Amino acid sequence: MKTLKQVLTDNPQYSTLINAVVRRIGMESVNDVIQHGIGGGFHGFIYYTDTVKFWKTHRKIIMQMAKEMADDLGEDVMQMIGGFGCLQYYDYQKNRWTDREGQERIGGTIYGREPDDIVANAMAWFTAEEVCRMFDE
């Protein structure tokens, strides 16, 4: 596993997010998140009050990360987010949105209106998992 210093050196554009995630979960939990996902309950990423606040604080850089990942995958960022396992608003088998409400929730959250707690939580979880993956060699 890489050290915090190595991850910060490799990903300077995300240093704020890296530090914020590590401060919340602690270095001792990074490998657990890599192995099991953030949904298992890690400090700072359990309650909506915490995850929504995290989203609001870091929204712009989280969206930068999400857009970069969507581009790397050759996907639209809305579709990528809609396909997150904890949301599943986008059906890749049928290549369409499963409902209009899901599309509106995601759009409203990522484009700056008052965030939907479920989507904001998903975005915070996405960030924590992606940051932890940066430590995996």
Whole-model pTM: value is: 0.90
Under the banding of pLDDT at 50, 70 and 90, the label for residue 14 is very high
Show me where the domains of the chain are located: 4-134
Residue 67 backbone phi and psi in degrees, to 5: -65, -40
The overall longest dimension of the chain from CA atoms, in Å, is 43
For residue 137, the model assigns a pLDDT of: 74
Token representation of residue 104: 């509106």
Percent of the chain's residues with pLDDT above 70 = 98
pLDDT digits (tens, 9 = 90+) for 111-124: 877 778 989 999 99
pLDDT digits (tens, 9 = 90+) for 17-55: 999 999 999 999 999 999 999 988 899 999 999 999 999
